[in-house]
A and B are shown apart, each in its own frame.
Chain A
Amino acid sequence: MQPEDLNWRIKDEPGETFRVHRSIYTDEEIFELEMSHIYEGGWIYIDHETHLQKENDYITTFIGRQPVIIVRGKGDDYRGYINACSHRGAKVCRQASGNAKNFVCPYHGWVYNSSGKLLDIKDKDRGGFPEGYLDRDYDLVPVPHVQAHHGFIFASLNPNSPPLLEHLGESARFIEMFANESKDGLEVLRGRSTYTHRGNWKMQAENGVDGYHVDVVHASYFRLAAERAKLAAAAKGEDGVKAIQVNLTDTDNGNYDLGNGHVMIWTDIPNYRDRALGMQYDTLEERVGKLEAKWMAGRLRQVLIYPNLILFDGISTQLRSWNPIAVDKTEVYAVCVAPKGEPEEARERRIRQYEDFYGASGIATPDDLTEFDACQDGYNGRLAEWHDFDRGMGRLHLGADKFAEEVGITPVSSASDFADEALYHGEYRHWLETLTKGIQAEQETAHGA
């Protein structure tokens, strides 16, 4: 595929229209390019440090299609290796997680240390190797970059990736804000949820910052919450969940294109004191100040850290990441994240609100997944080629609005409505740029060779 085979699929006419050709969700060749140049060609989110606490703690996972071992070294030092033995390629580590000084390959017993260095070849002395064999480099192939920012671990298979903080750009502000909700940082709670859906991964990335679908897709959720509150009031009892409300008419709300594909939506929460963090609003405000407390506890924020993480901080608190399995299949990993050391009552509130909404066993998420699958089916209607992201285009404002200025970020663009779709322009401009550069780099390598 050439850059010009890709370009026409994004119609970017500022002030007029922004359209995407639906083949970007269905084309196998484009999917391959995405895997090579987005997932295996740049920074992606790996995990939270909760799962890698001590030296030599490790997890095994995938970067795009490539199996990797991620190891914690001393302090905040992380490293990673392709999980494939230098001997004949067997996965060296089979466990999902653990702590190990050495990895012994289960196939023929080669031994590596946790820095990926080959320590021993079984029966080396009887090897009958050609001359110089033992001088060759048989260490595990390293992952070029593994780095954490406030406990959020990212990695890149591309040696030429920019520094992590440059990649995160303005989105780093919201990672830091989240991490600072307790003076001791965040912890991921035990209890994981993994689910799959029959839709392209980009819908997962779009949906977490889609304010437009909320009241329609989640009608059953919000109606139920209202019903529950009504019944509890009539019985003079307690509403056991105190679900978070979303109201766009009487609140401040908006969205930002944060650059590098990162985008976010935000809105003030009417019943923010029903949130776990809101229950401790006054102490929080004392520690972090008025503005920070407002953003942390009073304002729903959903931030897409491109390409595979969404920070959800509103209905409850979730880290949602994913890995594309095929052009029409995505695997999603969802965990609840919480400020360390929060009071028991708040923790319980957070958990109940989380389970109520989130996860494929929750009351809301399956409705989102159903829509992704329905879109994927719709995209097979090849005669219906395009859709636009024009909602909100008329109020798009380049640079920072007053809320962005207050919180100290300089977004590419700002807009004053949570339900806008123009924020996707940033996502897809980045997508096109990344794939185009990837194709060009491939061609340079091919010509150079």
Chain B
Amino acid sequence: MALDAAQLKEAATELLLEEADTIDQRRWDDWLALFEEDATYYAPAWEGDDDLTSDPHQEISLIFCGNRERMWDRVWRIKSNLSSSLARMPRTCHLVTNIRVSDVSNSALKATANFRTETFKHEEKDSTAFFGRYLYDLKRTGDQLTIQNKKIIVYNDIIPRQMDIFNI
């Protein structure tokens, strides 16, 4: 039997929170598995106070992965032990709230949420945070939900040293 509206929202919420957990718990392969192979992962850059870029093919993004392979690149690097910026992998904590679901069809739905990610950097004995908004296109396959697109709008975009898939 198909999920009703409340169950669907519950399933979407569960997916978003699971995604946050996979990152904070460094279950990178589980994280990738939540996304479709042709999923996009997109953190647009800002051009002005209220001017957010919107075309990753003509404009510079903070991060743009046009498919899951480009997301895998980032995971590969984290696992590689070759990057000094990741030599002491920061501890992160994602707070994902204000989750809402819309545009439900038989095959897809949209979800939005607010986030705040705390990053504790060992070298600096200090933490910094990014905050902003997530916009998801989710795909429905039976009762199963997967991520087709994820857009991350970072509101505080002056970056202290590093921004990557683990701290936004």
Contact = CB atoms under 8 A, between A and B. Distances in A.
Interface of A: 96-97, 189-198, 217, 219-221, 223-224, 227-228, 231, 240, 331, 335-336, 344, 347-348, 351-352, 354-356, 359-361, 363, 366-367, 369-371, 373-374, 377
B132 interface: no
Given A227-B76, A228-B73, 6 more contacts: A224-B76, A240-B67, A336-B60, A355-B60, A355-B63, A361-B63
A347 B57 CA distance: 8
Interface of B: 43-49, 53, 56-64, 66-67, 69-70, 73-74, 76-77, 80, 82-85, 87, 123-124, 157-164
Given A96-B49, A191-B44, A370-B85, A224 B73 contact: yes
Given A193-B159, A355-B61, A367-B83, A361 B53 contact: no
B73 A193 contact: no
**Residue from B67, B80, B159 having most chain A Cβ neighbours under 10 A:** B159
A369 B53 contact: no
A349 to B, nearest CB: 11
A196 B69 CA distance: 29
A381 to B, nearest CB: 15
B22 to A, nearest CB: 20
B158 to A, nearest CB: 5
A240 to B, nearest CB: 7
B160 A195 contact: yes
B33 to A, nearest CB: 18
B69 A197 contact: no
B62 A359 contact: yes
Contact of B77 (A217, A224, A240, A355): A224
Contacts of A344: 57
Contacts of A189: 58-60
Contacts of A360: 159-163
A240 B80 contact: no
Contact of A347 (B48, B58, B67, B162): B58
Contact of B82 (A220, A335, A361): A220
A189 B44 CA distance: 13
Nearest to B60: A191
19 contacts: A97-B48, A189-B60, A196-B160, A197-B160, A197-B161, A220-B83, A224-B73, A227-B76, A335-B60, A336-B60, A354-B60, A355-B61, A359-B159, A363-B77, A366-B85, A369-B161, A370-B162, A373-B124, A377-B123
A239 to B, nearest CB: 10
B84 A351 contact: no
**Residue from B56, B83, B124 having most chain A Cβ neighbours under 10 A:** B83
Contacts of A191: 44-47, 53, 59-62
B80 A369 contact: no
A190 B60 contact: yes
Nearest to B165: A361
B165 to A, nearest CB: 9
A223 B82 contact: yes
A449 B57 CA distance: 59
A190 B85 contact: no
Contact of A363 (B56, B64, B74, B124): B74
Contacts of A220: 77, 80, 82-83
Contact of A373 (B57, B66, B83, B161): B161
A420 B46 CA distance: 37
B159 A194 contact: yes
A88 B58 CA distance: 44
B158 A194 contact: yes
A336 B63 CA distance: 14
Contacts of B56: 351
Contacts of A336: 60
Contacts of A231: 69
Nearest to B46: A192
B84 A367 contact: yes
Contacts of B69: 228, 231, 240
Contacts of B44: 191
B53 A190 contact: yes
A217 B70 CA distance: 21
Contacts of B49: 96
Contact of A219 (B73, B82, B124): B82
A198 B73 CA distance: 27
Contacts of B60: 189-193, 335-336, 351, 354-355, 359
A91 to B, nearest CB: 16
A355 B60 CA distance: 7
Given A189-B60, A363-B77, A369 B85 contact: yes
